[in-house]
Structure 1
Amino acid sequence: MALQYLVSLAVVGVVLADQHSHVSFSLGGAPKVTHHASHHHVPVHHTPVHHAPVHKPRVHHPKPHHPRPAHHAPVHHPQPSYHPQPAYGHHEPAEPACAANTTKPWCLEDAEYPLYEIKHAAEYHYEKLLSLYADVADLSTELSVERPKTLDEETYLCPSATAYVRPLRAINTEGKWRVIVNNVDVHYETLTQTTRVEECLTAGDACPLVPECYESSCLQKSIYHRFLVYDPYDQYFPFAVETFKLPASCACLLGAYTIDH
């Protein structure tokens, strides 16, 4: 009997030991089984895990685009060396200084004559200038018939003065002073404009040698002459042909026949 009891205890002990349990006995009764957590830990070897660095995708934030203004290369326009000015209509020139030294509507001498500017402008516009000059060059009266010098040849009823002039400035038919192209050397050619003028010396007076019974007076007659002029205020083509009223002859005007008693 005792042996059977011991065998039973052995079996229970094996079972409990297998379940990591602890069996305790008491003197007065059945054995008490008390469960205890096992204090034996199986050593675990942790292999260090190397994690590859995580590369986060870079988020591209585009910068605001501010288009730059287009820079265009400046267009070069060749400028003539004579530096043209605005047209006459915008800047009316004042009366030239030479006008103070004469009572005539032209100047034969001019200290302010723009010869240098005219020459450079003429060279720059040479071909077009020649076409204009050809229109007025044939109007030169330098070779026209001169008046007789003695009374034996012919007698004039009214005294007058005749001259061949090359004006540097003159007043045109609109009452404006203009610069006349004269004595300008351009490409081995000299541009000149000569005109014949005849002025009455006693305009408005009675004609000499005419009997007093005739009403008479000396009358100044004029002719319209064209000159090639230089316009310093024209920035495109500073030359033009304009019209001028010049004295051409002196005539004797006869009126009604009168008889004085």
Structure 2
Amino acid sequence: MAMRLLVSLAIVALASADVGSHVSISHGAQPAVTYSAHRPHHVPSYHPAPAYHQRPTYHHQPAAYKPAHAYEADPPACSVNTTKTWCLEDDEYPTYELKAAIDYHFKSFKNLYADVADLNTELSVERPTTLEEETYLCPSETAYIRPLRAINTEGKWRVIINNIKAHYESETLTQTTRIEECLTSGNACPLVPVCYGSKCLQKSIYHRFVVYNPYDQYFPFAMETFQLPASCACLLSAFTIDH
């Protein structure tokens, strides 16, 4: 009876104890029995996160290739004593460097050069030379030129591939264009009455040449655009007469 009373008192004491307290009950010589009021903690199951929540972003992007130095050629010596935007003679023309570069890149250069092959235009602008045959309103001078240097449409001097014999070719690499320059640009048109307010006007055309860029070590050739004189017109008030 006494033993039952002791067990009942122990149970009551255990129920009234604070959370986290411990109660020890000894029964004579028996080893002490410890009761813990700790409630087992909830251990969450392991859910590994996905390897990538989104596509990885690479902040470093390889930069586009640019030549080591900008191609900013100074005005050549051949441009000193002329007002033209091209040179037909050039004592500083890099003939040796051009031959070496063309030989090294011959296959790629040949494909580029094929777009501007030499023109057979010797008779394309045959014109009368005397007033008895025909009269032009504005006097002009026509020529076929092979420029060695010229100013491109961005205002920069460039070396143009011309008169180069390279890679054991039997033919000479040339780039020819036709130009027509007004001899009295800005003046009144001859044979036109003053009351019409006429004037001679220089007209231009855009032409493409293969040029040499000594600063590009991978492929030192490119196609660039040049503005050259193409014809001479007579401007009458609000309209233009072309010929």
TM-score of the aligned structures, taking structure 2 as reference length = 0.66
Match of 1:42 in 2: none
C-alpha distance 151-181 of structure 1, shift in aligned 2 (>3 A): same
User: Any conservation in 2 of the 1:142–1:196 contact (CA below 8 Å)?
Assistant: no
DSSP 3-state at the match of 1:190: coil
Deviation at 1:143, TM superposition (A): 4.4
Match of 1:135 in 2: 115
The C-alpha deviation readout for 1:94-144, integer Å capped at 9, x for no partner, is 111111021100001100000000011111111111111110116564442
Distance in 2 (alpha carbons) for counterparts of 1:141 and 1:236 = 34
TM-score of the aligned structures, taking structure 1 as reference length = 0.62
Deviation at 1:145, TM superposition (A): 2.1
C-alpha distance 223-126 of structure 1, shift in aligned 2 (>3 A): same
Match of 1:56 in 2: none
The C-alpha deviation readout for 1:16-49, integer Å capped at 9, x for no partner, is xxxxxxxxxxxxxxxxxxxxxxxxxxxxxxxxxx
Distance in 2 (alpha carbons) for counterparts of 1:185 and 1:194 = 15
User: Any conservation in 2 of the 1:88–1:231 contact (CA below 8 Å)?
Assistant: no
RMSD: 2.0
User: Any conservation in 1 of the 2:158–2:212 contact (CA below 8 Å)?
Assistant: yes
Q: Is 1:165 the counterpart of 2:148 in the alignment? A: no
Distance in 1 (alpha carbons) for counterparts of 2:232 and 2:195 = 21
Distance in 2 (alpha carbons) for counterparts of 1:140 and 1:181 = 18
DSSP 3-state at the match of 1:122: helix
DSSP 3-state at the match of 1:178: strand
Q: Is 1:144 the counterpart of 2:124 in the alignment? A: yes
Aligned mate of 1:218, from 200, 207, 213: 200
Count of aligned positions: 172
Distance in 2 (alpha carbons) for counterparts of 1:120 and 1:159 = 44
DSSP 3-state at the match of 2:172: strand
DSSP 3-state at the match of 1:121: helix
Match of 1:194 in 2: 176
Deviation at 1:163, TM superposition (A): 1.1
Identity %: 73
C-alpha distance 180-123 of structure 1, shift in aligned 2 (>3 A): same
Match runs of 1:34-73 below 5 Å: none
Aligned mate of 1:253, from 217, 232, 235: 235
Match runs of 1:169-188 below 5 Å: 169-186=149-166, 187-188=168-169
Deviation at 1:176, TM superposition (A): 0.4
Distance in 1 (alpha carbons) for counterparts of 2:139 and 2:68 = 39
- In structure 2, the gaps of 5 or more residues are 1-65, 239-243
Aligned mate of 1:156, from 136, 139, 151: 136
Distance in 1 (alpha carbons) for counterparts of 2:175 and 2:232 = 23
Match of 1:204 in 2: 186
Q: Is 1:240 the counterpart of 2:222 in the alignment? A: yes
Distance in 1 (alpha carbons) for counterparts of 2:220 and 2:71 = 14
Match of 1:6 in 2: none
User: Any conservation in 2 of the 1:142–1:194 contact (CA below 8 Å)?
Assistant: no
- In structure 1, the gaps of 5 or more residues are 1-85, 257-261
Deviation at 1:158, TM superposition (A): 0.5
Distance in 1 (alpha carbons) for counterparts of 2:71 and 2:222 = 17
